[in-house]
């Protein structure tokens, strides 16, 4: 074999060896790149670390953040960023602060605080040129308030998952007990009573054998039950008379409960000014004697027994015409004029929170139950005055509420059709 041929064969062999090692290197590099990318993707997809801080009695926002290891200067920046959205100095005992830490860098990047059952406060750190008003997690929110520090605060609607629940039962002693016997959330019972607050006084009106059925929302978050939501529809048969209510949003300003004919159940005055245990004295024209004071008087009012401090609400829109101490035994007294026909009086209060001349809305808290003046124990002495004459609040017959506008009636009847069918099912 000639030298030239041997040299050519050697050259070919060297080239093949070179190509083989280049191929091995390329395959190994690709494998390393894939492993690196997988590690990066795993790191990026890994959830951030969350730390939950319970708000204990006698604690402050600053103390809780310090105990969680947050720098005081950063805490001050967060307070400043949130100030115009929600004052973190007013955080409530029993709620939580959730601190979010970036999984890769370990940096503290977000604070979440539940303002109420409907909204949460988000205070988020971002680079100033990256701050946007995009929603947190795709849920509706207000525009973020940004500070130079890069902390932005906003209120975010809590994204509950909703399910419908049907509850029914028969009253033996009370609606409250009947609902409990059927494993209904206590909060849903309270909401039902509120929905009927212009129609039925559930401390007085229910009778043994009354029946009820209602549809309400159950709120879930991350698959776990949180609380009941809105009452959607209900019917209550009280001593043979059936009362139906349906929730409907007519427009931005008109939303609430209507009967099956589209008439608002909201009337000029509420059935009762407080949530109470029982009535200690009813409306009487004859004399009622108070042995402890040696007095005999008529009692043209209703006395509602309730613990000291129970909120008292205005039974209707109106103007406060008197606030102060009464010299005729009423103790701390508030009087509200609702129109040219009705005035209501609220006596024996422990504390009054409105002023004379102030405009109040139906359901607004005006004071708290007490035992001031000629009183033998904590209760609210409640009077309704019609055209200058005191009348019995328990049998007060008010005109019906406003009907739905004609142009909205078709949508109303279509909305409640499904609910009516569900309520009618045995």
pLDDT for 202-217, tens place per residue? 878 889 999 999 999 9
Count CB atoms within 10 A of the CB of residue 320: 19
- Contact predicate 265/199, CB 8 Å: yes
Among 162, 157, 188, CA closest to 175: 188
pLDDT in tens, 331-353: 999 999 998 899 999 999 999 99
CA dihedral 14, 19, 22, 28 (to 10 degrees): -120
**According to the model, what pLDDT value does residue 147 have?**
53
Query: How far apart (Å, rounded) are the C-alpha atoms in residues 160 and 415?
Result: 22
Q: Is 184 helix (H, G, I), strand (E, B) or coil?
A: coil
For the purposes of burial, counting CB atoms within 10 Å of the CB of 216, is it exposed (0-12), middle (13-18) or buried (19 or more)? buried
Are both 49-157 and 278-395 of the same fold?
Answer: no
DSSP annotation of 116: S
pTM (whole model) above 0.75 = no
Fold topology of 161-267+404-424: Nuclear Transport Factor 2; Chain: A, (3.10.450)
DSSP annotation of 269: S
Residues 334-373 as b/e (b if ≥16 CB within 10 A, e otherwise) read: bbbbbeeebbbbbbbbbebebeeeeebebebebbbbbebb
pLDDT band at 243 (very low <50, low <70, confident <90, very high): very high
**According to the model, what pLDDT value does residue 104 have?**
87
Phi, psi angle pair for 76, to nearest 5°: -65, -40
How confident is the model over 24-44, as a mean pLDDT?
61
Phi, psi angle pair for 315, to nearest 5°: -80, -10
Is the model more confident about 281 or about 83?
83
DSSP annotation of 85: T
Segments making up each domain of the chain, as ranges: 49-157, 161-267+404-424, 278-395
**According to the model, what pLDDT value does residue 67 have?**
94
- Contact predicate 75/65, CB 8 Å: yes
Fold topology of 278-395: Glucose Permease (Domain IIA) (2.70.70)
How confident is the model over 239-257, as a mean pLDDT?
92
Answer positive or negative: Cα dihedral of 416, 418, 420, 422.
Answer: negative
Fold topology of 49-157: Nuclear Transport Factor 2; Chain: A, (3.10.450)
pLDDT cut 90: percent of the chain above it: 62
- Contact predicate 219/228, CB 8 Å: yes
């Amino acid at each position: 074999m000639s030298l030239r041929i041997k040299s050519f064969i050697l050259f070919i062999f060297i080239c093949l060896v070179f190509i083989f090692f280049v191929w091995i290197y390329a395959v190994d590099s690709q494998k390393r790149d894939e492993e690196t990318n997988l590690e990066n993707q795993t790191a990026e997809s890994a959830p951030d670390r969350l730390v939950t801080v319970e708000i204990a009695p006698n604690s402050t926002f600053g103390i809780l953040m310090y105990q969680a290891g947050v720098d005081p200067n950063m805490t001050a920046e967060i307070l400043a960023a949130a100030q115009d959205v929600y004052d973190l100095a007013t955080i409530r005992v029993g709620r939580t602060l959730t601190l979010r830490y970036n999984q890769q860098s370990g940096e503290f990047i977000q604070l979440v605080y539940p303002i109420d059952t409907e909204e949460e406060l988000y205070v988020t750190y971002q680079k100033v040129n990256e701050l946007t008003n995009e929603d947190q997690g795709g849920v509706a929110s207000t525009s973020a308030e940004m500070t130079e520090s890069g902390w932005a605060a906003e209120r975010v609607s809590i994204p509950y998952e909703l399910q419908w629940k049907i509850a029914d039962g028969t009253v033996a002693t009370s609606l409250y007990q009947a609902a409990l016997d059927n494993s209904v959330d206590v909060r849903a019972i309270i909401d039902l009573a509120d929905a009927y607050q212009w129609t039925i006084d559930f401390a007085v009106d229910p009778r043994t054998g009354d029946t009820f059925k209602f549809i309400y929302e159950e709120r879930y978050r991350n698959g776990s039950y949180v609380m009941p939501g809105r009452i959607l529809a209900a019917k209550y048969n009280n001593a043979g008379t059936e009362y139906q209510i349906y929730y409907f949003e007519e427009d931005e300003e008109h939303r609430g409960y209507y009967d099956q004919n589209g008439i608002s159940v909201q009337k000029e005055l509420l059935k009762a000014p407080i949530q109470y245990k029982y009535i200690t004295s009813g409306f009487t024209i004859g004399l009622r004697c108070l042995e402890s004071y040696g007095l005999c008087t008529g009692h043209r009012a209703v006395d509602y027994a309730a613990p000291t401090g129970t909120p008292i609400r205005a039974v209707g829109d109106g103007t406060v015409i008197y606030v102060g101490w009464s010299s005729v035994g009423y103790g701390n007294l508030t009087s509200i004029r609702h129109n040219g026909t009705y005035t209501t009086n609220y006596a024996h209060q422990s504390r009054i929170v409105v002023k004379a001349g102030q405009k109040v809305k139906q359901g607004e808290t005006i004071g708290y139950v007490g035992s001031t003046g000629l009183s033998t124990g904590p209760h609210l002495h409640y009077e309704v005055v019609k055209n200058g004459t005191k009348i019995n609040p328990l049998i007060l017959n008010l005109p019906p509420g406003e009907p739905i506008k004609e142009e909205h009636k078709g949508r109303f009847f279509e909305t409640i059709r499904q609910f009516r069918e569900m309520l009618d099912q045995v």
